[in-house]
Chain A
Amino acid sequence: MELNNLNITEKTDLIVARHGTTSDVVIPILQDIQSEFNYLPEPALKRVCDTTEITPAQICGISTFYTQFRHQPAGKHRISVCTGTACHVKGALFVYEAFRRELKLAEDGDTDASMNFTIEKIACLGCCTLAPVVRIDEVTYGHVVPEQAGEILRDFLLKRDTGISTVPADTFDHKKSQGEIRIGLGSCCVASGSADVKMQLEKTIAQSKIRVNVQQVGCVGICNQVPIMEIIKPGENPAFYAKIKPEEVREVLLSHFTPEGYINRFKTGFYNLFETLLADGAPRSFRKYLGEQRDTPLSGFLLPQVNIATENRGVANPIDLDGYRRSGGFEPLRKCLSGMSPQEVIDEINASGLRGRGGAGFPSGKKWQLVKDQEATEKFVICNGDEGDPGAFMDRMLLESYPFRIIEGMLIAGYATGASHGIFYIRAEYPLAVIRIGEAIRICQENKIIGNSVFESTFSFDIRIFGGAGAFVCGEETALIASVEGKRGTPRMRPPYPAVHGLWDKPTLINNTETFSLVPWIINHGAQAFSKIGTSGSKGTKVFALAGKVKRGGLIEVPMGVTIRQIVEEIGGGIAGDKKFKAVQIGGPSGGCLPASAADMPVDFEALREAGTMMGSGGLIVLDETDCMVDIAYYFLSFTQNQSCGRCTFCRIGTRRMLEILEKIRSGDGKQEDLENLEKLAHSTAMGSLCGLGKTAPNPVLTTLHYFRGEYEAHLNGLCPSGKCLPLIRYEVTDECIGCTKCAQRCPSEAIAFKPYEKHEIDVEKCIKCDICRQVCPANSIMIR
């Protein structure tokens, strides 16, 4: 379709009419323009400037600041290759390059010639347990290997018309039910095919007339076993079916439930038998575990956990208000409104020892008190859901799975601090979270939980959603505020703190999603119950996104004070694939790497900080002996460098120079003085940057330099001990080669000659180090040297 200017003007005017003409609506307007035109046509932007208070400088500044926006037309479909930490350590870059080759992209292009696909790297899709992950439009592919690129593109084009829809909420009919089937519909589950499983389930139920409730639940947390299905039948232990496939649903279902009526049963039985016979010999992928059974991978994963933020995990339908209320939801809010003064609520939070879960661990009660103590006509409460760390998906899961709990936490905070407006700031990459929260807000409004006179009290509180536009730095509270005000997400000097001068200069409480989700529990069970859990300085639980080289990854909630080793070995089941546990990266790009020898460190704000890392928002990536620490440092720094807002000198230029030095070291061109300059820059960037992003950006470098200096020195001598740094390695075929020609067939750069039944050879000149040959070799005969 040819866009003419008239067309653009009309459509732009409609968009502006939806949002208004004040300067703070610039981001929502740009988001709508982009979804209308697939990019930001300049005439549309100029039209916005002509018809609103938004200035040219503002609109150009904003549209080039946030990565969501593009100024060139994009292809019909968007391929997002996740390069989050978990994906990175599992070879995301190989996948990215494979898609680029498949689409025959020019070196600086991102869209194929037929304008069908536009490819982009994305910081984290939050499906770390399925790494490496690729998302095309709404379809997510997990465990992608580079050689599948073409296959995936074809599959996508084939499937796009069948449409996997977001499944609507189900109704319950407890009386007639023979039992309940729960199926996880978090992002990981959907990505692994749970929607297909659910469709098959519904089809089977309809065909066989089994009377059973299908309950869709939020993230189960056992993301390494998805899709997961739980069958609950009165008088029986719950049974979990892990990694279940649509074609296996019927068999599982019929083994638990009897179809209605004899003939039906016979028919089904016969059909079932026939199908099983046909499928005989095919590998069975699903595994069945009973809920109470110990020593199964599931019990190892679930039992050491304590669920507060994730209470009722795997049981509750995220947007079933009645269900939430049945399990005691909104009682804590009622308790506050009817029996506690705002000060009493804050005292309770203070007594619980709750500290902010966004990373820095500031005492929440103190923050609340500061906001409460301000005299102002208007105050705000903001839920920070701009989780952008690669390797972290806690907020996403909480927002998707427990929207009412977080809303309740915000309402309690609003009551305690005297605020009347709430804002959810949710990052652009979490569409499902935006939908769920939006739905939950609507339900709460209908039920008079949000709005004027909450529960008929004098307390009024409204909540809206603000969609982030792709800027990690907006997780910093002053940058987040700037973003909501329609400005570039640039942090400003603190003091003054947002609690005093926040959004629109009004006192503003900003807490992390997880922090809010702990609040109702604390009010319900009392401060003491919460402070009993954890260490002397760090109370309660912490949610981690456990991923990387562990056997069992997923979303976990553990009491503060458990050791990292317990998490890795007990919950995570140790390292996958007989490799050696080398390190954990904790806290994402602001955190650092701790070696396996330091894994007995407890999860505790102070202990982690002393070790040079930090709690961060809770990414926990486990690394094994094949991971190169210089590469890891480079990876995280390239993320923060890319995400720097560019305001202050140390962060804007310092991180760039550090990255250049790391690149030099990674390529084998580093010298001793480079290490010294790197260390120096890391220290001064940490000391001299204005905001948390710059202050913590050097942590991955400083911790790896501290704990793994030998590895850096090896690189100075031209050696990458883990075989990860491409400029320092080459691929070779060993004598184990069976001459199957698979590598030669798959090599995208014709570096391997086709020689059936002979030992193959790799032409080092032609080899692009894409790793495909090593992955397809059935005899493990491709070596990295």
Chain B
Amino acid sequence: MVKLTIDHNPVEVQEGISVMEAAAILGISIPSMCFRPGLTNHPSCMVCLVKDLDRDHLVPSCAMPVSEGMNILTNSPEVTEARREALELLLSDHVGDCEAPCRLSCPAFMDIPLMNRLIAKGDFDQALRIVREEIALPLILGFICPAPCEKACKRKALDHAVSICLLKRSSALFGKPETSGLSEIPVNNGKKVAIIGTGPAGLSAAFYLLRSGHSCVLFDQHEKAGGAMQYEIPEDRLPKDMLDDEIGTIRKMGAEFRLGVMITREIFQNSILPGFDAAILATGSLKSVIDNAFGIQPDAHGVFIDKKNFTTTIPGVFACGNIIREQKMAVHSVAQGKMAAKQVERFLGTSKPTRKPIKFNSVAGHLSEPELKEYLKESIPDDRVEPVDGFLAGLTKEEAMHEALRCLHCDCRKPVSCKLRIYAEEYDVNRRRFAGQDRKQLTRSVQHELLVYEAEKCIRCGLCVEITEKHGESIGLGFAGRGFDVRISVPFDENIKEALTITAKECVESCPTGALAFKDTEERSSI
């Protein structure tokens, strides 16, 4: 047995284990990327650095064996900074997008590439389900959204952006609503929420609250639901039957609409506040709040609404949509409706535990011509499909499926499990701090039926090299080159299919980043 001290805690451990393993015994977890039990464990990423106080050195804890009297610090500012710098250096040489640029530019963070992949397979039901995770009103937005996503689409550099907005409409038109949240409504949880206003924000909030088991009553001064979408958008932009259809879906989910009701201050104070567990103001006008129509008083700083959390100065009363910010795009309001619903759930204690959303994003930027060719390997060369029967008719099923094939799949296949992203988030790194002068050119190897290899996401840990060697792959993977130019490649430029015959799965699972990823994996990230 060996006695040592880790973070001032004495511990006695078995001889021969690593500092990292000894720390784990004390419940101290140390980040690591290149470490994998059962392999020779040759430290390279340097994310697991700890301080050896006696030798005044930073040492990789994954490979440093414990020794008698050792005095280790795992959590000093120096250690944290060194780990952060290691991550920043790795990121300076890491080319790829954690999330596709279309998704990042969507105010609702809709998972566009996944929707495209599902539509391409003809699975409109699943596509609609994915769309509805972020967008409650895909049919309506499929007509009126100005589609910021398409402006960010990397395909534009080649010919034209993928027709994302119309594809989203197709998912709503051809996907069965039952599969998109309606059949999953849990038992009513007894909580009642009043929603004032039935524009995109109000409807969206209602959708998500209903879906998580709340009762919702929607109030609107007009005779018909829909707000500006009902009364301001002309028929040739948004056919009324489409609008009513989507509102009908929410009605079918159990929403109660009280239309033609003007909510006065009295009604709000006397009926709504006492009669409901929470209320959401989605009237589309900040004036209604400032004019004190709902009796909301400003706080010491003169603020009525916390725009980040959608709370007002009255507990249990929330606000979203144009009240927060005057905006032209309905998709903003739809996104806020969802976020306000989440705040309501948090307030009511009805929210399900969710994973902490990741804010960190690696961004590759513009694709060069050769890079576009690499990305085309998973796409088709055809230009954008324009619907034969015009904008109002939209894409046919076949057209949609063909158009969806045009997606370049800029998103990473491991947005959740990538350790580089997880630690980048945890260590609050600045990925531009050590940015190099020229970024490396992206490549994508897709010949293998199970996996995709994107070399520029690789951190050169060599786990895959060792795995192929260990299992006696006749070709396997190997290191090539030296120094900054070292890369993992298939010897003699053979087909990666021949290189990974029995080890593909283990290699992908060991790969700490998205460099090696399963083709059909869909990790779901959220914001």
Contacts and interface: CB of A to CB of B under 8 A. Distances in A.
Interface of A: 42, 45-46, 55-61, 64-65, 67, 471, 488, 490, 492-493, 495, 641-650, 652-657, 660, 677, 680-681, 684, 687-690
A493 B483 contact: no
Contacts of B459: 649
A246 B316 CA distance: 103
Nearest to B469: A57
B468 interface: yes
B46 A649 contact: yes
Contact of A57 (B49, B63, B475, B486): B475
A116 to B, nearest CB: 28
A655 B477 CA distance: 26
Given A58-B478, A650-B89, A687-B58, 19 more contacts: A55-B478, A56-B475, A56-B478, A61-B479, A471-B482, A645-B482, A646-B486, A647-B460, A648-B43, A650-B46, A650-B85, A657-B89, A677-B434, A680-B85, A681-B85, A681-B434, A687-B82, A688-B46, A690-B44
13 contacts: A42-B492, A55-B478, A56-B475, A56-B476, A64-B481, A652-B483, A652-B484, A653-B90, A653-B92, A660-B436, A684-B85, A688-B85, A690-B44
B433 interface: yes
Interface string B12-32: 000000000000000000000
B65 interface: yes
B476 A493 contact: no
B491 A59 contact: yes
Contacts of A644: 482-484
B136 interface: no
A684 B477 contact: no
Contacts of B492: 42, 45-46, 56, 60
A687 B57 contact: yes
Nearest to A647: B44
A690 B482 contact: no
Contact of A55 (B42, B46, B460, B476): B476
Contacts of B480: 60-61, 64
Contacts of A648: 43-46
Contacts of B58: 687-688
B60 interface: yes
Contact of A684 (B82, B92, B468): B82
Nearest to A495: B65
A703 to B, nearest CB: 20
Contact of B436 (A493, A495, A656, A677): A656
Contact of B481 (A65, A641, A643, A654): A65
A166 B161 CA distance: 70
Contacts of A58: 478
Given A646-B483, A687-B58, A688-B85, A493 B64 contact: yes
A65 B487 CA distance: 11
B185 interface: no
A644 B486 CA distance: 10
Given A64-B482, A641-B484, A644-B483, A57 B468 contact: yes
Nearest to A65: B482
Dominant secondary structure at the A interface:
helix
Contacts of A646: 460, 479, 481-486
B86 A645 contact: no
Nearest to A59: B491
Contacts of A680: 85
A643 B42 CA distance: 19
A642 B483 contact: yes
B465 interface: yes
Contacts of B481: 64-65, 646
A548 B441 CA distance: 41
Given A493-B43, A641-B483, A687-B82, A61 B64 contact: no
A380 B480 CA distance: 30
Contacts of A57: 465, 468-469, 475-479, 491
Contacts of A687: 57-58, 82
B63 A493 contact: yes
B93 interface: yes
B521 interface: no
A660 B491 contact: no
A460 B107 CA distance: 78
Nearest to B491: A56
B354 interface: no
B60 A652 contact: no
| Complex A-B, nearest 6 residue pairs according to Cβ-Cβ distance, in ascending order | A57-B478, A646-B486, A56-B491, A60-B491, A653-B89, A644-B483
Contacts of B489: 60
B448 to A, nearest CB: 17
Nearest to B63: A493
B183 interface: no
A644 B93 CA distance: 16
Interface in B69-87: 81-82, 85-86
Nearest to B41: A493
B484 A656 contact: yes
Contacts of A493: 42-43, 60, 63-64
Contacts of B491: 55-57, 59-60
Contacts of A660: 436-437
Contacts of A657: 89, 92, 434, 436
Interface string B51-72: 0000001101001110000000
Given A56-B475, A64-B480, A493-B64, A688 B469 contact: no
A360 to B, nearest CB: 14
B89 A654 contact: yes
Given A643-B483, A677-B433, A688-B58, A649 B44 contact: yes
Nearest to B42: A492
Contacts of A492: 42
B180 to A, nearest CB: 44
Nearest to A648: B44
Contact of B82 (A490, A642, A688): A688
> Which of B57, B460, B494 gathers the greatest number of chain A CB atoms within 10 Å?
B460
Contacts of B469: 55, 57
A291 B85 CA distance: 59
B96 to A, nearest CB: 16
A468 to B, nearest CB: 14
A64 B479 CA distance: 9
Given A646-B484, A650-B89, A653-B484, A690 B43 contact: yes
Nearest to B87: A649
A388 to B, nearest CB: 13
Contacts of A642: 483
Given A493-B64, A652-B460, A61 B478 contact: yes
A619 B74 CA distance: 38
Contacts of A42: 492
B476 A645 contact: no
A654 B85 CA distance: 9
Contacts of A61: 478-480
A684 B64 CA distance: 19
Nearest to A45: B492
A59 B486 CA distance: 15
A592 B209 CA distance: 67
> Which of B43, B57, B465 gathers the greatest number of chain A CB atoms within 10 Å?
B43
Nearest to B45: A649
Interface string B467-511: 011000011111111111110010110100000000000000000
A648 B491 CA distance: 22
Interface in B273-330: none
A650 B42 CA distance: 15
B69 to A, nearest CB: 15
> Which of A646, A649, A653, A655 gathers the greatest number of chain B CB atoms within 10 Å?
A649
B482 to A, nearest CB: 5
A660 to B, nearest CB: 5
B485 to A, nearest CB: 7
Contacts of A56: 474-476, 478, 491-492, 494
Contact of B86 (A490, A647, A688): A688
